[in-house]
Structure 1
């Protein structure tokens, strides 16, 4: 560092500023927790079918929150500034915080992918796709376990990672910076494999697009989810580029606080977007259904009343249910095309002649010219129109 000392008064790049780091990480962290909360509400409160995918997404969210908090705290200990000009206590504290950030990030990259794969297993109950998901689940699980162990135990004892001076006999490797080449190689290999697994996991359910009779509504919803998945993959590719470009903060000179801000911001965004993408298919159908229920512009009330026959011999019964004393049902045919004449014709019933179609109740049901104040009318429809604005209410 002394041989390649950077200018002490070099202006801070946009990515290294405190406002940029806060603005890029905190909002997406909040949105990701909103997505997780809605996901858990649906799984526990609506369909009541929680699973392993919910557990893994919660674990990933907790680790993501811890990592983001460490990133924000590390700003006060030099993140964004040149490492060489920090005080020794700040150097030690920054490396300690970076140890937590790096280990939690590596662990949660595996957890969120495993959550998505457990989620796919709910869809693919059998066949080739299920075996592909199970194979990816095992491979990613082993990958995550291996790299997480190396991230959480980079030195023996672990505290030697951030306090090498007081632990001169510690055994360090890989992320513990025992030598520069191993350190760079481990960072680049993990980032490259992370990108490859991101592509594999987010491309796995594309087989659903080949499903016959896929409705346009479902197609649009699935496309939206895959767009977010594509952004996650793009973010991981961008992060790989930044790490290769500065060789894990060692090129053109070693500076652990000046070069990492872009990579750290992309790491936070990658996990946040992955959590959102994993949760949207769970809660969005319920939200969409609720939205269609609250868009109300008119209310229609229909009241039906039946006329009773006041006949002591036959008793009180609904007219349409009372058939005592009637023979076969009458049939009305119009031979003149005059519907009003047809309504006044006499019909022969089993009991004799009767002006059945002069009955005011019957006329009121079928004759549009009948008065509104006819007694016994049994159908009433009220349509209450609301103003055009607002068009929906909660």
Structure 2
């Protein structure tokens, strides 16, 4: 099967800058969030779980630096599925870890099993989309393929629906927590950050139509590949945000202790200064008055001399 003729009108254009910028920035955000997560685990909560293991698997985004972008796009689809599956697993294991509700923990386990089965099925659908498999990226060999847009749209739509379900799963449990309304809103806000992933999933979904055309794969696959990388990295970032509570609490406690220490040092210095320079009490005031009177008397001889001279004149 001959490959489609490329669009030579695009020969003078390049999207390397966009690919590098989006991939590098979102990857840096994801790595930074994972580093903060493990710092929080190591020094504050001092415990690790399956949710942390899953996020480590998910943090490796699909690469876009291969010579043949169409074959890399094929592998990136599989890595994309693996990354999002493990991010969901991380969310669900984290729910089971922090929420004591038996019902929620049971529902999370159902989601974990379902997510694993669905993830395996989606990977197989993408891996064996063409027979032979090489027909997906090598258009010069005879092959039979399921229309890729059918598989991509099905997988992406089910991912978006699953993401929404997982993100709203802890909201009833948060409402029942015995804590202040303000703290509940903070928790809801932390978990709601995950809706950014849903937004990027929808953007990626719109880019799949261009990728499915295959007019010029090296050009048409770029949008879908970039948004796949961005979605995976942002999903990792969103999964790390709710786990940073111990880190934030520790930083607040450290800053509070530091401010209190500075206040104590300042108070100690003030007391030391008071010891060196005692306050002006009644006795001190009398002493100063006496010293001033002595100073005045010391300056009076001139007046006395003048009065003496005047008296001597009067006597004469």
Bin the TM-score by the shorter chain.
0.7 to 0.9
In the other structure, the counterpart of 1:179 is 145
In the other structure, the counterpart of 2:199 is 234
CA contact (8 A) 1:32 1:275 kept: yes
CA contact (8 A) 1:59 1:111 kept: yes
In the other structure, the counterpart of 2:97 is 122
Give 1:299 deviation, angstroms: 2.2
CA change 1:268–1:135 in 2 (3 A) is same
Give 1:99 deviation, angstroms: 2.2
Among 263, 288, 297, the residue aligned to 1:299: 263
Structure 2 unmatched runs, 5+: 269-279, 285-316
Q: Distance in 2 between matches of 1:11 and 1:288?
A: 54
1:276-295 counterparts in 2 under 5 A? 276-291=237-252, 293-294=254-255
Indicate the structure whose relative CO is greater, using CA pairs within 8 Å and at least 6 residues apart.
2
Give 1:217 deviation, angstroms: 4.7
Q: Does the alignment pair 1:275 with 2:236? A: yes
Q: Distance in 1 between matches of 2:283 and 2:188?
A: 58
Give 1:37 deviation, angstroms: 1.4
In the other structure, the counterpart of 1:135 is 110
CA change 1:241–1:161 in 2 (3 A) is closer
Structure 1 unmatched runs, 5+: 78-92, 173-177, 304-367, 373-394
CA change 1:12–1:50 in 2 (3 A) is farther
Q: Distance in 2 between matches of 1:110 and 1:216?
A: 32
CA contact (8 A) 2:33 2:240 kept: yes
Among 27, 30, 39, the residue aligned to 1:29: 27
TM-score normalised over the length of structure 1: 0.59
Give 1:143 deviation, angstroms: 0.5
Give 1:234 deviation, angstroms: 1.2
In the other structure, the counterpart of 1:258 is 219
Q: Distance in 1 between matches of 2:188 and 2:101?
A: 24
CA contact (8 A) 2:174 2:188 kept: no
CA contact (8 A) 1:28 1:269 kept: yes
In the other structure, the counterpart of 1:101 is 76
- Three-state SS of the structure 1 residue aligned to 2:98 is coil
Q: Distance in 2 between matches of 1:45 and 1:52?
A: 18
In the other structure, the counterpart of 1:113 is 88
CA change 1:256–1:199 in 2 (3 A) is same
Give 1:34 deviation, angstroms: 1.2
Q: Distance in 1 between matches of 2:3 and 2:83?
A: 37
Q: Distance in 2 between matches of 1:43 and 1:33?
A: 15
CA contact (8 A) 2:85 2:119 kept: yes
1:54-73 counterparts in 2 under 5 A? 54-62=52-60, 64=61, 67=62, 70-71=63-64, 73=65
Once the two structures are superposed, residues 16-50 of structure 1 have per-residue CA deviations (whole angstroms, 9 ceiling, x without a partner) of 62222222121110111111112112223432211
Q: Distance in 2 between matches of 1:27 and 1:224?
A: 23
CA change 1:153–1:289 in 2 (3 A) is same
CA contact (8 A) 1:106 1:151 kept: no
In the other structure, the counterpart of 2:290 is none
Q: Distance in 2 between matches of 1:133 and 1:2?
A: 48
Q: Distance in 1 between matches of 2:219 and 2:247?
A: 45
Q: Distance in 2 between matches of 1:164 and 1:256?
A: 10
Once the two structures are superposed, residues 276-310 of structure 1 have per-residue CA deviations (whole angstroms, 9 ceiling, x without a partner) of 1111222243134314533656422477xxxxxxx
Number of paired residues?
269
CA contact (8 A) 1:249 1:255 kept: no
CA contact (8 A) 1:32 1:272 kept: yes
TM-score normalised over the length of structure 2: 0.72
Q: Does the alignment pair 1:249 with 2:219? A: no
